Amino acid sequence: MVDLSVKYAGLDLKSPLVVSSSGLTSSVNRIKKIARAGAGAVVLKSLFEEQIEYEIGQMETGDGYPEAADYLKAYARENSVSNYLQLIRDAKDAVNIPVIASVNCYSSDEWTDFTAKMEEAGADALELNIYFIANDKHKDPREYEQAYLNIVEEVKKKVTIPVIIKLGMHFTNLSWMAEQLSIRGASGIVLFNRFYAPDINTDDFTMGASAVLSTPAEIRNSLRWVGIISSEVDKLDIAASTGVHNGLGAVKQILAGAEAVQVCSVLYRNGVEYLRNIIAELKNWMEKKQYQSISEFKGKMNYSSIKDPAIYERAQFIKYFSKLH
Ligand SMILES: Cc1cc2nc3c(=O)[nH]c(=O)nc-3n(C[C@H](O)[C@H](O)[C@H](O)COP(=O)(O)O)c2cc1C
């Protein structure tokens, strides 16, 4: 019998597979199914910073995006903050795996006070999904980076549960960012979020959303950085995210050094029960390779463990170009 248990961001997980924050994790019934299918933890659908600010009367409406403000107000009404606290309590009552609450945020304003209520409601950890488009040509990029650190500092003053930061993939020096987050008390990072991205309809000139769900090929985005950060930054656990659609995808991320692996799109496509297949494939691989526990192979292929670590830094296809010409 292989042992799938891992420690992630101070939490004991019975398996490294975590269902990531999304509509899949917004109902207690589905969370029960997710737990029965073998998930190690569940990250609840995110609450927006704006929802919290709105409820405490801080949300600005005349910010130049009236449609966005109207949308957020409607969203806030339907998904009120008190409903979210109830979701945390109900999920905690319903399952015996860790329940991680989640907030989409970009500032370190008053909303951060609310994180204490999430802890009171029973959340085992808090995942902060931090993002903003850095597109102000007059703003020093360092100000944008500082915003991430301010958020962690502020939230760490309000809660005692582990704080995990979910990042996008575009940083000038992700190793620096990860180290700074760790110094400020983050227990883990999720590499990476996959955000909504716009697309253009060339027939009717309307804007829409580009592919909402990921493909397995997208694992390439996080594998490099899981491999590098896991060997460069101590005391910061990693949950790999984006493009993990099968057990072997999870194996690769663990070999690269991830403590946990998050899945989302594959479950939207196949249903949450599909998690069983992913876990079975992970177990089969371990049996075939005669590993009894995850720790026996975690990080075996990370940046500092392989013979030629430069492979993690290689960005040009020189060899392949020369063959193709
Ligand atoms: C429909 C949908 C809703 C999502 N909602 C959230 C959310 O509320 N908060 C969040 O942090 N990530 C959200 N995500 C991102 C996922 O948690 C995940 O990071 C992303 O889909 C990449 O993982 P995947 O390749 O396994 O899908 C959402 C993704 C999808 C497809």
Q: What is the CATH number of the domain that holds 201?
A: 3.20.20.70
User: What pLDDT is attached to residue 85?
Assistant: 95
User: What pLDDT is attached to residue 311?
Assistant: 87
Mean pLDDT of 254-264: 98
Has residue 1 been placed in a domain? no
Has residue 192 been placed in a domain? yes
Percent over 90 (pLDDT), the chain: 78
- 4-53 pLDDT, tens digit per residue, is 999 999 999 999 999 999 999 999 999 999 999 999 999 999 999 888 88
Radius of gyration of the chain (CA): 20
Nearest CA to ligand 1 atom 5: 22
d(CA 203, CA 303): 46
Q: How far is ligand 1, taken at its centre, from the CA of residue 24, in Å? A: 9
Nearest CA to ligand 1 atom 25: 242
Mean pLDDT of 204-218: 94
Query: By residue range, what is the domain housing residue 172?
Result: 6-324
Nearest CA to ligand 1 atom 28: 22
Per the prediction, the chain carries an average pLDDT of: 92
Torsions phi, psi for 2 (to 5 deg): -85, 150
User: What pLDDT is attached to residue 141?
Assistant: 93
Mean pLDDT of 121-131: 97
Domain count, the chain: 1
Which residues lie closer than 8 Å to 316 by C-beta, 6 or more apart? Answer: none
Tokens of 164: 């995990």
Length of the chain: 325
Cβ of 46 below 6 Å from ligand 1: yes
- 60-71 pLDDT, tens digit per residue, is 554 556 666 666
Q: Whole-model pTM?
A: 0.92
